Structure 1
């Protein structure tokens, strides 16, 4: 069985230890998003949430303001 897990850098050691404890073969592919790529992905998600009705207009605007001002 093959299991692919995307995690933040901060959790890398935790998952490596879990794999070691499970005696699992581990392959690490360290590709991290740039801040610009991360921002683009977040904007895409918030737009999709708005389309699906999961995010209202105020939440959408607040999030975009936060994203642009950080």
Structure 2
């Protein structure tokens, strides 16, 4: 995607290794196979008592963000 310079990153052989990403969404299923051991921190900005994803959207977005090298399969 030229808009964000992805073509330049790929040309420089940058694959995202070591990058940290924040996902602000509906939570995440930390037990999902594509996310196990990859969530290093979580914060709850709602009036609920959990960061668990009750809608599935946050898990899907987190897997997309964590899919370096094509490892993510989608939620």
TM-score, normalised via structure 2 length = 0.27
- Name the structure, 1 or 2, with higher relative contact order (CA <8 Å, separation 6+): 2
Question: Structure 1 or 2: larger helix share?
Answer: 1
